Structure 1
C-alpha cells in the first residue's frame, strides 16, 4: 500500500473552495486526467488504474467540506480532498490518495514520483479554478 498527500494554500475561504471543488461542471478543470467525472446526479466517476478505466464512486460531505472517491467494489484506489479554513479569509486544501494491490505507485520509483507530481498539479489547478470563480 502507498499513501500520498499534499497540502496547498487556497486563495479564498474554505466554503468557496469546497463549492468550486464539488461543482461537477468544474471537475475536468482541476482533476487529473486519469479521473473523469460526468456531471450527473450522482456524478458518474471513472478512474484509470494500471491504464484501465474503472468505474468509481464519489461521496460529498458539504458539512465537512470533504470529497471522497474510490473504485466501485474495490479498495485498490481511493482518495479524498479536505478543505479547511485559514486566517484572513483564506483556506487550505489537502489532497490524499491511497493505492493498494499491485498498483505501480506501490513500488516507488517513477510511478510514485508521477503521483507526487500529479498531486501538486491538481492542487495548483484547483487554486486557479477558485481564483477565477
Structure 2
C-alpha cells in the first residue's frame, strides 16, 4: 500500500487546520492534483490516480487527539 506524507505550516490554530484536512470531501485540496479521494462507507475511501488511471481502495482514519490523519 502506498503512503503519502506531507507537512505544512499554517497561520491558524492546529485544531482548525485538522478539522479542514480531516474532512474527506475537502481532502483533495491537501493532495497532489493527480490524486482524488472518493468517500465510501467510512472509514473506506477510493483513491484515483490520474497518472495511472487506477483506483485503489484505502482506509482513512482521523485521530483528532493526535492531530493525525492516516
- After TM superposition, is the score higher than 0.5? yes
Name whichever structure is richer in strand by fraction.
1
Unaligned runs of 5+ in 1: 69-133
Q: From the CA coordinates, give the structure whose radius of gyration is larger.
A: 1
For residues 5 and 24 of structure 1, do their structure 2 counterparts lie closer, same or farther at Cα, with a shift above 3 Å needed? closer
Runs of 4+ off more than 6 Å: none
CA contact (8 A) 1:35 1:45 kept: no
Take 1:16 and 1:56, find their aligned partners in 2: how far apart are those partners? 25
Q: How many residues are treated as equivalent by the alignment? A: 65
TM normalised by structure 2 equals: 0.65
CA contact (8 A) 1:47 1:56 kept: no
Shift of 1:6: 5.1
Deviation digits for residues 60-113 of structure 1 (CA, Å, limit 9, x no counterpart)? 111111001xxxxxxxxxxxxxxxxxxxxxxxxxxxxxxxxxxxxxxxxxxxxx
Take 1:41 and 1:23, find their aligned partners in 2: how far apart are those partners? 14
TM normalised by structure 1 equals: 0.39
Unaligned runs of 5+ in 2: none
- RCO higher in 1 or 2 (8 Å CA, sep ≥ 6)? 1
Shift of 1:19: 0.4
State the partner residue of 2:20.
20
Name whichever structure is richer in helix by fraction.
1
For residues 28 and 7 of structure 1, do their structure 2 counterparts lie closer, same or farther at Cα, with a shift above 3 Å needed? closer
